[in-house]
Structure 1
């Protein structure tokens, strides 16, 4: 029987966010090394201090993930120094069409794609050579339940999460024979600044600590898709298989229309 995979060195981008910070804390324990990235230096220091109090060794780097050269250099440097077991690109942002339906600006769209898609892919690309050489490692990619069916209020965000969903599924099929685990995380609404700024109803809102526990359990079991909460997961999945006209009408009735 294959022994369970227990990550001891974990890299998390977006560790100053709601879920990213909660994941850092839930993995913080004696014998664990955490490599944490965030933009907000003060918040990053607070997260690091909390994790150190739990017994973890913590190394931080404050940077904007849109600086791909610095981001990739950081991941490659630590991949050479440490055997990174688990990589979690959790940095993410959202944008929306606005209360008057004005639409998203190109600056908002391009920044969102850089952070949600390109930065996540850059982290994976930088960490993969070491994992493939060792034939061991795990990657957890953040998609969203919005990846099942695009929400009219958040078109670019929905598109970015659909891209990550497809990317993660493809990586899993490619890398599984090499001993590398890949999971796609698809949360519903999780309490955070980003979530509060999103328009529309927020049913079944979870605190970040609960989300982090569900994610850790799912990763320990090597689940292909870690999606929650169940009622919202079922509902959003249904939107992807119903006729488009029906799905669009449901979204309008629920307050997610443009």
Structure 2
């Protein structure tokens, strides 16, 4: 996928850059004049993404990073000359098909999807607050990759839905207060995207998007200054509708969904 040559950001940090939406976002931002700070746990796949971005003309600095490591995340952010945009994309998923969710799975999902987001977003915001504002008055932007699952507390995927709801609500509420410092936050809530994380799902996934299309929608929403970037609209609408159903009905629907292993990175 060709980079967005007209991107207004020059220093871009991205976690979970080795595959799926993260890789697509990196490639979409890759262009001459852009410096990409790419992080992921899988060194081999991260190197492949970095090479593709360099081929598109971007300057790339890749770092093998586990977002659960707060000190490592702070060091990663601190080594950057500046940050125009941080995309906190690293995340994992898991579900039980309506059964009991193992404690290890619950903790793993929250540690990556919530704590991992804060481990990168908070030091990035502190760094952005020291930067001069751009022509639009913004010192920096933080985009948190949540999910339309944030709007539906699905039994059997309680930890995943709750983790995405937590970061979605945190980003939206924090955006309202951080604007005074010239920092913008964006909650990105995509539906199903064709990635290794969804490849293991054994249930229908309507309105599936390719990673490249999701990346374009994400970056367009950030550039437009939208606080909530939810897409595609049919999936978003279905999630809001499902979230309004009686809890017994939600539980019945969830019991028909097959379990899935913890996936992502």
Tell me which residue corresponds to 1:141.
144
SS at match of 1:196: coil
Per-residue Cα deviation, 1:186-224 (whole angstroms, up to 9, x for no partner): 010001111122353211111100000000110110111
Tell me which residue corresponds to 1:32.
34
Unaligned runs of 5+ in 1: none
Tell me which residue corresponds to 1:23.
25
Query: Does residue 56 of the first structure (1) align with residue 47 of the second (2)?
Result: no
Q: Is the 8 A contact 1:201 1:256 kept in 2?
A: no
Q: Is the 8 A contact 1:94 1:198 kept in 2?
A: no
Query: Does residue 225 of the first structure (1) align with residue 222 of the second (2)?
Result: no
Q: Distance in 2 between matches of 1:5 and 1:203?
A: 30
Q: 1:150 aligns with which of 133, 147, 153?
A: 153
Q: Distance in 1 between matches of 2:65 and 2:245?
A: 42
- Post-superposition offset of 1:243: 4.2
Query: Does residue 196 of the first structure (1) align with residue 193 of the second (2)?
Result: no
Per-residue Cα deviation, 1:47-73 (whole angstroms, up to 9, x for no partner): 000000000000000122222221222
Change in CA separation of 1:94 and 1:138 when aligned onto 2, cut-off 3 Å: same
Q: Distance in 1 between matches of 2:157 and 2:92?
A: 11
SS at match of 2:154: coil
Of residues 40-49 and 196-205 in structure 1, the stretch that sits farther from structure 2 once superposed is: 196-205
Q: Distance in 1 between matches of 2:211 and 2:7?
A: 24
Tell me which residue corresponds to 2:244.
241
Query: Does residue 127 of the first structure (1) align with residue 124 of the second (2)?
Result: yes
Tell me which residue corresponds to 1:160.
163
**Number of matched pairs:** 248
State the Cα RMSD in Å.
2.0
Per-residue Cα deviation, 1:10-42 (whole angstroms, up to 9, x for no partner): 000000130000000000000000000011111
Bigger helix fraction: 1
Tell me which residue corresponds to 2:92.
93
Question: TM-score, normalization: structure 2?
Answer: 0.87
Tell me which residue corresponds to 2:3.
none
- Runs of 4+ with deviation above 6 angstroms: none
Unaligned runs of 5+ in 2: 1-5, 134-138, 260-265
Change in CA separation of 1:91 and 1:49 when aligned onto 2, cut-off 3 Å: same
Change in CA separation of 1:234 and 1:87 when aligned onto 2, cut-off 3 Å: same
